């Protein structure tokens, strides 16, 4: 098993109604990646789908993928233009995110929780994950 030092939260920056399959299709069929860019996807109803095994490296944050687990929730932008960063997490997504991060922290106690924005000049995931999950 590779060493996991970071749990990094993302948003899809798209339609909050997107399914896990939509994201897989986008990454593999449109972007032609060899595998999906995130390990876990959380839909608007709080369903968590694992897209790739934890031991495989995903494509979440350039330069930080080797020791990270990338988690994404559907949404994170206004739902009219999909351009304005906005915390669109539903109550179910908030519950699921917290539960998933808690589980992953118990599996990887040395891993710290971040948002994509902590590594890049981006809004992703449209909220301050580091602060919100400081208690996990
Ligand atoms: Zn991101």
Q: Which domains does the chain have, with CATH numbers?
A: 6-132 (3.40.80.10)
Mean pLDDT in order along the chain per 10 residues (136 residues): 95 97 95 94 98 94 94 98 98 98 97 97 97 97
Our CA dihedral for 31, 34, 39, 45, rounded to 10 degrees, sits at 50
Tell me the whole-structure pTM to 2 decimals.
Answer: 0.96
Which residues are near ligand 1, the ion (C-beta closer than 5 Å)?
10, 116, 124
d(CA 81, CA 83): 5
Q: How many whole angstroms from 45 Cα to the centroid of ligand 1?
A: 20
Q: What spacing in Å lies between the alpha carbon of 12 and ligand 1's midpoint?
A: 7
Q: How far is the CA of 89 from the centre of ligand 1 (A)?
A: 15
103 contact partners, CB below 8 Å, separation of at least 6 = none
């Amino acid at each position: 098993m590779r060493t996991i030092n970071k749990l990094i939260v993302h948003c899809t920056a798209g339609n909050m109604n997107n399914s896990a399959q939509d994201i897989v299709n986008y990454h593999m069929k449109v972007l032609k990646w060899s595998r999906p860019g995130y390990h876990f996807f959380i839909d608007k109803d709080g369903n968590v789908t694992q897209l790739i095994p934890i031991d495989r490296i995903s494509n979440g944050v350039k330069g930080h993928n080797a020791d990270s687990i990338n988690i994404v929730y559907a949404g994170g932008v206004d739902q009219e233009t999909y351009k304005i960063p906005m915390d669109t997490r539903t109550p179910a997504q908030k519950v699921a995110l917290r539960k998933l991060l808690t589980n992953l922290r118990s599996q990887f106690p040395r891993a710290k929780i971040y948002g994509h924005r902590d590594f890049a000049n981006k809004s992703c995931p449209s909220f301050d994950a580091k602060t919100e999950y400081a208690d996990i």
